[in-house]
Chain A
């Protein structure tokens, strides 16, 4: 965002010296909607969350306006059920985070394994039919996420069509227990976020110059080698964008874990939900969990951005 603003500012100045101030003034006005959206939808909610995470819990929801580190303490330290044991590291919430990260990672990998070939296929169709294939990818997303997740539940339940078919075909003797497992959660996440993987990769592959693949073939590169040495590195930005777009929403998802995973174990999303909607009503803790998740993701993205910059510098 900052980069875009800077660029337009530079170009305005270089265009005509006398016009600069007017253009600048109008620019600020024109940027107002963008700033408004960032402010209202991003800065204020995050600040609210940050503030609430440092307040004292009011019984059964709500907060008392006193500064406290209680919520963060609860996250990291275990003082026993009655709070009188010497503090030790609290593994409960770290475990919940770990589980969510693993699930999101699997969902991301599944999405990539299916999404990359799909995107490649679409991008290599004739120009005219690409729109049609993309259109097909979006069809399931005309339906609400909840309905799609429930449909998935119907499909994979013990006496759902998949098991019934396998049983009647004599392929299995006992229904495969798919519902209420981690696999079901990953499947749900995969299904929810697949287009977020397909679309950015498609955009990258579409810009890829296929003459490079031909050149590689001319130089006796095998198809696999071309794929790994030429195609994937060239479309890497699209792949990474897709992975981020799948991984991050998967981390906070709670529909798939609740409906397909049987809600037996908290995920980050359902842990936060429980703090606001459940009996605990511990808003500061819910806010603190959200802030911790936000910080972790920010750190990951920062590392990624730094690696990206370093690589670009090295490349030139």
Chain B
């Protein structure tokens, strides 16, 4: 027994030594395919801070996992606009002073005083973009500037449509199509929405979010909901794909890097936020993810084709995009029920 205790003691000592010797750490919780590994390596090379990254595929999954594992395991996450409000209400966000970030002034004016984080007290802008859909022009050459493509498709596209497997975005997009509020309590509106979706589903091939690019690029489907940057990547693999800014409206979102409450490595997290606000870094992320950065001075580092890419430049007559809204609990329950009904 004494031998065992000595052994344990030795093991514990080795472990504590190892911990002291190891470099500073930073744990981030990020979307899939949203930051190039080279950037993380570069950050480690610059600061000596080792970065560990886990990934998620929807805002809801992020929230669910933080709730299940509790705070204190991650330093930074990358929620979208509406989810930042929800996370603040849940008490999941820490705040910082603008003076704690050297590059705070690099934040673009339009992303500084935003409704979801006035004056940027918990977050810094990451990338922003839109949610709409793409059509394979080889399969369908008619008008695609309408969400009928998804919800009331022409004959050529029937059975060849993918929609995002996230209740929030898909239902909000459907609400825009029907011209009803995103958080409606109106019985007839909701029944119509539910009936419309169930009818449209007959023409859908699949529900897929993280594979939204793949199913389009491979030709599994001829039309599919997608985020604009992900769509640009799909077009790089299949040139006949075209992103649409439908006349009924489309969704916009702005992802931010938020400082999580009880972050185990708060200093490292702030250093990383500073890093993300470097124009060169933000541009590198844009070049990789094909969205749009919210940081000043990125232009000179951007890929040339991004400046004119159809995914990032809505046509002049396109309507403005709409942010996803946060519904009250009892309203949200109705939308959850509609989603379950849709996928039953």
Q: Which residues of A contact B (CB under 8 A)?
A: 59-62, 81-82, 92-93, 95-96, 157-159, 177, 179-180, 258-259, 262-266, 274, 276-282
Contact = CB atoms under 8 A, between A and B. Distances in A.
A61 B70 CA distance: 12
13 contacts: A81-B187, A92-B340, A96-B344, A157-B218, A157-B220, A180-B205, A262-B208, A263-B343, A264-B207, A279-B168, A280-B167, A280-B340, A281-B60
Contacts, number: 96
A263 B60 contact: no
B9 interface: no
Given A60-B63, A276-B68, A279-B166, A266 B343 contact: yes
B194 interface: yes
A262 B205 contact: yes
Contacts of B205: 179-180, 262
Interface string B164-204: 01111000000000000000000100110010000001001
B235 to A, nearest CB: 18
B64 interface: yes
A157 B184 CA distance: 39
Nearest to A159: B219
Contacts of A276: 64, 68
B39 interface: no
Given A81-B338, A158-B219, A265 B343 contact: yes
Given A82-B334, A280-B167, A280-B339, 12 more contacts: A60-B60, A81-B194, A92-B340, A157-B220, A262-B205, A262-B207, A266-B340, A274-B340, A276-B64, A278-B61, A279-B168, A281-B67
Given A59-B329, A81-B191, A159-B219, A278 B63 contact: no
Nearest to A262: B206
B220 A263 contact: no
A282 B336 contact: yes
A159 B160 CA distance: 13
Interface of B: 58, 60-61, 63-65, 67-68, 86, 90, 159, 162, 165-168, 187, 190-191, 194, 201, 204-208, 211, 218-220, 329, 332, 334-341, 343-344
Given A158-B220, A180-B206, A61 B165 contact: no
Contacts of B208: 262-263
A81 B331 CA distance: 11
A278 B167 contact: yes
Contacts of B187: 81-82
A31 B340 CA distance: 46
Contact of A81 (B90, B165, B190): B190
A151 to B, nearest CB: 13
A280 B329 CA distance: 10
Q: Which interface residue of B190, B204, B206, B219 has the most chain A CB atoms within 10 A?
A: B206
A279 B68 contact: no
Contacts of B166: 278-279
B334 A279 contact: no
A270 to B, nearest CB: 8
B65 to A, nearest CB: 8
A95 B218 CA distance: 33
Q: Which interface residue of B61, B86, B191, B194 has the most chain A CB atoms within 10 A?
A: B61
Nearest to B67: A61
A263 B334 contact: no
Contacts of B206: 180, 262-264
Contacts of B65: 277
A95 B340 CA distance: 12
A263 B164 CA distance: 10
A217 to B, nearest CB: 52
Contacts of A263: 165, 206-208, 343
Contact of A277 (B61, B204, B211): B61
Nearest to B218: A157
A206 B167 CA distance: 51
A175 to B, nearest CB: 10
A61 B64 contact: yes
B344 A266 contact: yes
Given A82-B334, A264-B206, A277 B218 contact: no
B336 to A, nearest CB: 4
Contact of A92 (B61, B335, B336, B344): B344
